[in-house]
Structures are given as structure tokens and as C-alpha cells.
Amino acid sequence: AQKITQTQPGMFVQEKEAVTLDCTYDTSDQSYGLFWYKQPSSGEMIFLIYQGSYDEQNATEGRYSLNFQKARKSANLVISASQLGDSAMYFCAMRERPSKAGGTSYGKLTFGQGTILTVHP
């Protein structure tokens, strides 16, 4: 089963409007972290925002906010007041504890398939 699912291959938004990028995850752990990264066409990976599983408040970072719904296992990224420079690929990722001693999940990020966001003027 997919650990991280991003169901929107592509999204379009008008400049200055808000957009929500969907992310659902699958874990049996109680302690995990959820992260969003931006990859512009130039190729670098830029860390945007994170949410801890025990955080009661939704994370916010400037124009980015994370709509965390633990019961639904969703961690959607909301970008407010979209700008042309927001056009990029966006990845949702999860970091879990090792499932057992020596488990191979130790510290790695598991990524979703990504969503390409295009901001129109």
C-alpha cells in the first residue's frame, strides 16, 4: 500500500487565489512527521513546512499552512495568495520511527508522487 498518496497530478490556480494540494498518508505509528517540499523547474528541493503528529495546531509558515486532519490521515498544503513563482512540483513526505530495532525505515523520508502546480496570471 502507498504510504503517501497525492491524488492530484496537476493543479491550476489564478494568481492571488488560494490553492489546496492534497496528501493522504498511511501509518500505524503514533509518532511521525509530515513534510512538504517544493521543486521548481530548476530542480532543487526546497523544504516548506512540517507537521508533527502530536501537534494540535496546524502548522503555518508565511503563505503556507498545513491542514492536518489526523483521523482522516490527511495533511493538505494550503498556499494563500498564489504567486507566479509558486509554479512548481510539490511533494508531500512522511518520516516515521523505526518499526523495530534495525528497521530500514530509520529516519528516511517517504515521498508521494508529487503535484504539479501551475499559477496563471
Rounded Cα–Cα distance for residues 116 and 52 (Å): 25
List the helix and strand counts (H, then E) for the chain.
0, 12
We find the least distance from the C-beta atom of residue 40 to other proteins, in angstroms, to be 11
Q: How many CB atoms lie within 10 A of CB 109?
A: 13
Q: Is 5 in the site for other proteins (CB under 8 A)?
A: no
Of 16 and 108, which CB lies nearer to other proteins in the complex structure?
Answer: 108
Residue 50 CA, distance from chain mean position: 8
Residue ranges in 89-118 that form contacts with other proteins under rule CB under 8 A: 89, 91, 93, 95-97, 104, 106-111, 113-114
- Cβ–Cβ under 8 Å, residues 9 and 22: no
Rounded Cα–Cα distance for residues 10 and 13 (Å): 10
One symbol per residue from 13 to 42: x for binding other proteins (CB under 8 A), - otherwise; what is it?
------------------xxx-x-x-x---
Q: Is 47 in the site for other proteins (CB under 8 A)?
A: yes
Which ranges of the chain would DSSP assign to H, the alpha helix? none
We find the least distance from the C-beta atom of residue 16 to other proteins, in angstroms, to be 27
Q: Which residues contribute to the site for other proteins (CB under 8 A)?
A: 31-33, 35, 37, 39, 43-47, 50, 52-53, 89, 91, 93, 95-97, 104, 106-111, 113-114
